[in-house]
Amino acid sequence: MSFSGTTTRGILRLWLILACCCLLGGFFAGSEAVAGEVSLLRLGGGVERYEVGPHLEILEDAAGQWGIDDITKPAFNEVFTPIHSFSINRGVSASTYWVRFSLSQQKGEDSARSRKIPWLLDIGWPFFEQVNGYMVSGATSHSPPTIAPVPFYDVFRPIGGPHSKDQGLLARLPKLVSAEQTIYLRLRPNGVFFLHPVLCTVKSYLETSTLRMLCFGIYLGLLLALLLYNLFLYFCLRDRSYLWYVASIAAIGIYFLGINRLTFEFLIDYPPTTILRINLVTLSASLIALVLFARSFLQTRERVPRIDRAMQGLLILLLAALLQVPFMPLSYLNRCYLVVGGLVPFGLVISSAVCWRRGYRPARFLVLSWGIYGACGLVYALTFMGLLPFNQVTFHSFQAGSVLEAILLSFALADRINLLRQEREQLSHSERRHKELAVTDGLTGLYNRRYFETQIDLEIEGSDRLGQKLTLMMLDVDNFKVFNDRFGHQAGDHVLATLGGIMFSCVRDRDVACRYGGEEFTIILPGGQNSTAVEIYERINGELEAHRFGTEGQSAGRITMSIGVAEHLPGESAESLLRRADRALYEAKARGRNQIVIASREPEAAFFSCFDSSSSSNQPYL
| pLDDT tens digit sequence for 166-221 | 445 678 888 877 788 999 999 988 888 889 999 988 888 888 888 888 888 899 89
Residue 545 makes CB contacts below 8 A (sequence gap 6+) with 558
How do 595-599 and 561-567 pair as beta strands?
A: parallel
Report, in angstroms and rounded to the nearest whole number, the Rg of the chain calculated over CA atoms.
44
Going across the sheet that includes 561-567, the strands are 512-517, 520-526, 470-477, 561-567, 595-599, 608-612
CA–CA gap between residue 596 and residue 584 (Å, rounded) = 8
Residue 589 makes CB contacts below 8 A (sequence gap 6+) with 476, 478, 562
Distance of CA 95 to the CA centre of its chain: 44
- Confirm if 216 and 267 have CB atoms less than 8 A apart: no
pTM listed for this prediction = 0.67
Using CB atoms within 10 Å of the CB of residue 607, give its burial: 0 to 12 exposed, 13 to 18 middle, 19+ buried: exposed
Distance of CA 603 to the CA centre of its chain: 68
CA–CA gap between residue 605 and residue 514 (Å, rounded) = 27
Using CB atoms within 10 Å of the CB of residue 32, give its burial: 0 to 12 exposed, 13 to 18 middle, 19+ buried: middle
Helix and strand numbers, DSSP H then E, in the chain: 18, 22
Report H helices in 515-617: 530-545, 574-590
How do 41-43 and 191-195 pair as beta strands?
A: unpaired
CA distances from 123 to 168, 287, 382, 522 (A): 10, 30, 21, 93
Element (H, E) at 89: strand 88-93
- Closest by CA to 524, choosing from 463, 606, 570, is 463
CA distances from 579 to 66, 559, 565, 595 (A): 115, 25, 10, 19
Residue 547 makes CB contacts below 8 A (sequence gap 6+) with 498, 502, 558, 559
Which one from 51, 519, 572, 587 is the annotated catalytic residue? 519
CA–CA gap between residue 203 and residue 116 (Å, rounded) = 12
Active site residue 519: yes
CB atoms within 10 A of CB 40: 12
Residue 322 makes CB contacts below 8 A (sequence gap 6+) with 280, 281, 284, 285, 288
pLDDT of 313 reads 93
Report H helices in 440-564: 449-466, 480-487, 489-506, 530-545
Distance of CA 571 to the CA centre of its chain: 60
pLDDT of 155 reads 46
The residue length of the chain stands at 622
Q: Is 23 left (phi over 0), alpha (psi -120 to 50) or beta?
A: alpha
- Closest by CA to 499, choosing from 516, 486, 485, is 516
Architecture of the domain spanning 449-598 = 2-Layer Sandwich (3.30)
Low-confidence ranges of the chain (pLDDT < 50): 1-6, 29-35, 109-112, 154-167, 605-607, 609, 612-622
Tell me the one-letter amino acid at 228.
Answer: L
CA–CA gap between residue 203 and residue 213 (Å, rounded) = 15
Element (H, E) at 395: helix 392-395
Element (H, E) at 474: strand 470-477
CA–CA gap between residue 328 and residue 334 (Å, rounded) = 10
Going by the DSSP 8-state scheme, the letter that residue 141 receives in this structure is S
Report H helices in 110-151: 112-116
**37-55 pLDDT per residue, tens:** 678 888 877 788 999 989 9
Q: Is 108 left (phi over 0), alpha (psi -120 to 50) or beta?
A: left
Fold of 36-196: Immunoglobulin-like (2.60.40)
CA distances from 42 to 46, 55, 83 (A): 12, 10, 18
- Confirm if 511 and 524 have CB atoms less than 8 A apart: yes
- Confirm if 380 and 76 have CB atoms less than 8 A apart: no
pLDDT of 118 reads 79
- Confirm if 128 and 186 have CB atoms less than 8 A apart: no
